[in-house]
Structure 1
């Protein structure tokens, strides 16, 4: 029997459908079997991790503050003799000078002429005093003979005393001119650094005109601003580490505390003597710079973890705790002080909890992990934290 064309097409379509259904059924059975095998064998870990446990170690307590660097003491060096012309300026701003070093010189022609005149006046007074002394001596020898009256003898004796007084006045005038001659040299009153200069060659200055400013002994101080509550934590001798705006690092020690608190800002000034730390960059610290620093207030025990164990997500800090079933749980923590590679954490994490030491950013809450090693011994972690250099924290 001959089949029509529509029947043939229908039979072919039915055969194709039967084949496709068989293939799909076979593939589904294979997938179900694979799932059953995977479930039987256990889920695949998302990551192989190393774990650690929080350790309680001593961490430094620091008080942070801001302030300005200033000169310890600044000396004003001026002209002692007025009306003189500057002939030479030997130093400039930034130069280091020694005590007694000549900074500038004045013209001495007028001073030398005045000194010569005073010297001549002194010689004249000495001669007049010698003549008066001789006359007085003769008058005394004739006092008993009656050759001279009492009034004449008294005149000779008075002339002798007057001549002696004129000698003293002439000698004082001579000394004044000698002092003025020495004042033609402007010298440093102390060792230090020149911070300002107004002296110029050819300038005629008045008496007392400031020519230089000198930072005595080159010493700088940090004037830190602290609140009224923080002031009670500090005392003379407290050490500090200071970083200037230029990057210079300096060691400091509290010299004194401010005697009063600003009623507007409620802050007090703490005066800290500064000492540059070894390094060429420390020479960039200058008076007037802004600086921030930290006062060392001792240390207290704290629960710490490695910084690599912290995971930052959405502006918060987390650690990934490894549970007994080898799955991780995300725990929110509050980081605090830091020391070397360890950071303090607040409450919320037990001291014996195992956490992922690093690579936690690649894991999600509930992921299965494979633990590659065990947490380090508490003694080893504590020794590493104590050997690490402390970092600044409020």
Structure 2
């Protein structure tokens, strides 16, 4: 190879090598359309501000459901057998309705005997009166002494007393005869039956129990602080075990507290015919007079670790988790007692998907109201 050609090739190779090294050592210029990085929004949310509303105060309580009053129907006579039963547990009865009958034969025989005794006493009285009249006539002629005439008058008085006694015995026997028909003492429903067909009764044996008027009441248990806020006539709403709600009215507030539990009973009368039944245990609330409340939709509240939080939205559209204290609830709203200002916007729903400090996109609410 000629010397001049070899030199030319060496120079060309050196230029290429320098170009490659320069491309590896020189940083590439930044793209012209790159912009500074920004925090990406995690969620689109609607916001709502707390509202001031007038809400009734509420006392939460629980207690048993029991009969307003129970009537005990007993046997009033003894030695008689139950001949028939005309009512059972759950029977709706009217006052004076026959619930059972006792075998009346023994009492009927006693009645016949007393009728005969009355007839005999009446005849003895007539005889004594007749003797007294004759003694008065004879005595006017001086044939009888005053003592003898007095004896005839005493016999009349004794005969009157004997007749009165016989008539009283007859009335007692007829009362016993009436007691062979066991009657309902009031309108209501039979809650218990211990009467058995054919059983021979003793006086005072319990036969039936009756819920008077079929009236059931809620016996709410309250402490001393709550008790001072309750008044007769206030409305109470009872939640039954099956989920049904019954509205009643405070009938009576106990004047004393139980020494062991430091709690007292408030008696709430429930409507006749409601699904409430004696023996149930129910929770409920008693409505107190209305007062001002700062309220939010219950969907704005997030429960975490047993505490209640809301997410407030700042001007920079970042959220802040705030601990709040809740109070009353009504329909789909909840009262905020502390932890939130009245003019602070909060996330209406979806807070469970947010973290403290997250960026959100606020979208307008579509006709949403509290």
TM-score bracket for this pair, using the shorter chain length = 0.7 to 0.9
RMSD: 3.1
> 2:170 corresponds to which residue?
174
State whether structure 2 residue 44 is matched by structure 1 residue 48: yes
Secondary structure of the equivalent of 1:94? coil
1:257–1:107 CA distance, 2 compared to 1 (3 A): same
Question: 1:115 Cα shift?
Answer: 0.6
The answer (yes or no) to whether the contact 2:236–2:284 under 8 Å persists in 1 is yes
> 1:351 corresponds to which residue?
342
State whether structure 2 residue 202 is matched by structure 1 residue 206: yes
1:170–1:317 CA distance, 2 compared to 1 (3 A): closer
1:374–1:90 CA distance, 2 compared to 1 (3 A): closer
Q: How does 1:325-364 map to 2 (within 5 A)?
A: 325-364=316-355
Further displaced range: 353-362 or 89-98: 353-362
The answer (yes or no) to whether the contact 2:68–2:216 under 8 Å persists in 1 is yes
Q: Aligned partners of 2:303 and 2:156: how far apart in 1?
A: 101
> 2:102 corresponds to which residue?
106
Work out the number of aligned pairs and report it: 352
State whether structure 2 residue 312 is matched by structure 1 residue 321: yes
State whether structure 2 residue 244 is matched by structure 1 residue 252: no
Secondary structure of the equivalent of 1:275? coil
Q: Aligned partners of 1:267 and 1:125: how far apart in 2?
A: 65
> 1:300 corresponds to which residue?
291
> 1:185 corresponds to which residue?
181
1:345–1:72 CA distance, 2 compared to 1 (3 A): same
1:125–1:79 CA distance, 2 compared to 1 (3 A): same
State whether structure 2 residue 140 is matched by structure 1 residue 144: yes
Q: What are the Cα deviations for residues 348-371 of structure 1, in whole angstroms up to 9, with x where unaligned?
A: 333222222223334444444333
Further displaced range: 199-208 or 252-261: 252-261
The answer (yes or no) to whether the contact 1:78–1:208 under 8 Å persists in 2 is yes
Q: TM-score, normalised by structure 1?
A: 0.79
Secondary structure of the equivalent of 1:93? coil
Q: Aligned partners of 2:246 and 2:104: how far apart in 1?
A: 45
Question: 1:239 Cα shift?
Answer: 2.5
Q: What are the Cα deviations for residues 304-351 of structure 1, in whole angstroms up to 9, with x where unaligned?
A: 122222234454433333322333333333333222222222433332
State whether structure 2 residue 210 is matched by structure 1 residue 219: no
Q: Aligned partners of 2:32 and 2:335: how far apart in 1?
A: 50
Secondary structure of the equivalent of 1:174? helix
Could you tell me which runs of 5 or more consecutive residues in structure 1 were left unpaired when the two chains were aligned: 2-13, 385-394
Could you tell me which runs of 5 or more consecutive residues in structure 2 were left unpaired when the two chains were aligned: 2-15
Q: Aligned partners of 2:169 and 2:200: how far apart in 1?
A: 24
Question: 1:213 Cα shift?
Answer: 1.4
Q: Aligned partners of 1:287 and 1:143: how far apart in 2?
A: 78
Q: What are the Cα deviations for residues 85-123 of structure 1, in whole angstroms up to 9, with x where unaligned?
A: 110011111212111111110111111111111111111
> 1:116 corresponds to which residue?
112
1:87–1:292 CA distance, 2 compared to 1 (3 A): same
1:291–1:181 CA distance, 2 compared to 1 (3 A): same
Q: Which has the higher helix share?
A: 1
Q: Aligned partners of 1:94 and 1:34: how far apart in 2?
A: 86
> 1:369 corresponds to which residue?
360
Secondary structure of the equivalent of 2:114? helix
1:170–1:374 CA distance, 2 compared to 1 (3 A): closer
> 2:234 corresponds to which residue?
238
Q: TM-score, normalised by structure 2?
A: 0.84
Secondary structure of the equivalent of 1:181? helix
